[in-house]
Amino acid sequence: MTFAEILEQVKMLSPRDRSRLMEHLQSMDVGAQKPRLKTGAEIVAMLENMEPVETLYPEIEDPVEWVKQIRRDQAKKRNLDWGDRG
């Protein structure tokens, strides 16, 4: 049955039955509501209340160098030898 066919059947209902149908459809949709999006202030508050995240090599400030170091560590751990690429 298509949506158009269902609408045609709904049009044939009495006003009372249409009202009951609407109430039923709305009650079905209550559980499917999307979660409320957080505001910027709520996100900031959540971040401020988080515990600090510990990272490896906090002394490396350059993100590219940090990723290179992590990859070198992973390669050593996996016994990979790609030669010295710097």
Looking at residue 41, its amino acid is: A
Report how far Cα 4 is from the mean position of its chain's Cα atoms. 34
pLDDT of 65 reads 96
pLDDT of 84 reads 63
Task: State both tokens at 74.
Answer: 């992973």
Please tell me what DSSP assigns to residue 41: H
**How large is the greatest C-alpha to C-alpha distance in the chain, in angstroms?**
80
CA 1 – CA 8 distance, rounded (Å) = 11
pLDDT in tens, the chain (86 residues): 899 999 999 999 999 999 999 988 888 766 666 778 999 999 999 999 999 888 899 999 999 999 999 999 998 888 866 666 65
pLDDT of 1 reads 87
pLDDT of 28 reads 78
